[in-house]
């Protein structure tokens, strides 16, 4: 049980570290007016996960961004145009993560649309009576645009490097497999060479044996010829003796 409890503590700690490392830090809120619409942009450090809904009495439009912090953004942001009274930012935390809330206090109801582009959340509010050209920007007190851009570039570079590293690891794995295959083929060829060398040695032994056999056969042939000659000589002598015996018998 103690081991299981310790493992659970470690897992929870790692999960919390992972969540913190992935926290979306909201650094800037901008409001831009143009003819017939207002665009609210919320800039973060991660692609936003959001929920948007309306509340009434009083009329409000709520934007909740999950796993995000919005500390340091000035609030409330007074707008007071034809549709928005003010914007109030806050954040709250539960057992899972931090949620940043951006609340628009509305003067009247109207059409809206939302989307995200990269690390930005965009809210588009439509109203034909809007004709201003104001541009309101609220940043974190310690926010530096240049540093933020550099950090974003660094993140992109790191992501590209991670992809490259995976590609390098894949190529290295392929090379290792190729090297292993080449080593196996080299071992096979070495074994083949050994077998060929053994066959050559066996053939040489056979050739030596055949040469020895030929030499023995030659020696036997010489001996046989010599014996034939001796036998012939003996036959001649026997014939001569027979002839002399016959002559002596005739005289008697």
- CATH code assigned at 137: 2.60.40.3500
Q: Tokens 């053939």 label which residue?
A: 203
Mean pLDDT over residues 159-176, rounded?
Answer: 91
Query: What's the Cα-to-Cα distance from 123 to each of 20, 78, 138, rounded to whole Å?
Result: 26, 17, 16
Exposed, middle or buried, 156 (CB in 10 Å: 0-12/13-18/19+)?
exposed
Give residue 136's pLDDT: 85
215 domain residue, yes or no: no
pLDDT category at 221 given cuts 50, 70, 90 is: confident
User: Between 232 and 2, where is the model more confident?
Assistant: 232
Res. 56: pLDDT tops 90:
yes
pTM score: 0.50
pLDDT, mean of residues 109-120? 92
**C-beta separation of 112 from 61 below 8 A:** yes
Question: In this predicted model, what pLDDT tens digit does every residue of 151-165 receive, in sequence order?
Answer: 667 877 888 898 999
The domain of 61 spans 23-143
Number of domains in the chain: 1
CA distance 177 to 171: 10
In a domain, 167, yes or no: no
Residue 118 falls inside a structural domain:
yes
Q: Which two tokens stand for residue 120?
A: 């930005």
């Amino acid at each position: 049980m103690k081991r299981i409890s310790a493992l659970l503590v470690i897992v929870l700690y790692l999960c919390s570290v992972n969540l913190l490392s992935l926290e979306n830090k909201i650094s800037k809120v901008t409001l831009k007016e143009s003819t017939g619409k207002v665009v609210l942009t919320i800039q973060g450090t991660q692609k936003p996960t959001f929920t948007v809904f309306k509340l009434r009495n009083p009329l409000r439009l709520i934007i909740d961004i999950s796993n995000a912090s919005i500390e340091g953004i000035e609030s409330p942001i007074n707008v007071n145009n034809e549709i928005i009274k003010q914007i109030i930012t806050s954040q709250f935390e539960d057992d899972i993560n931090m949620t940043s809330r951006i609340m628009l206090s509305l003067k009247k109801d109207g059409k809206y649309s939302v989307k995200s582009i990269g690390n930005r959340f965009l809210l588009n509010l439509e109203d034909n009576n809007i004709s201003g050209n104001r541009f309101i920007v609220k940043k974190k007190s310690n926010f530096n645009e240049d540093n933020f851009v550099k950090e974003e570039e660094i993140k992109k570079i790191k992501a590209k490097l991670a992809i490259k590293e995976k590609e390098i690891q894949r190529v290295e794995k392929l090379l290792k497999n190729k090297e292993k295959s080449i080593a196996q083929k080299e071992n096979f060829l070495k074994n083949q060479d050994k077998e060929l060398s053994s066959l050559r040695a066996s053939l040489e032994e056979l050739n030596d044996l055949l040469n020895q056999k030929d030499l023995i056969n030659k020696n036997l042939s010489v001996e046989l010829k010599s014996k034939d000659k001796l036998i012939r000589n003996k036959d001649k002598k026997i014939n001569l003796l027979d002839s002399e015996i016959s002559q002596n018998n005739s005289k008697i």
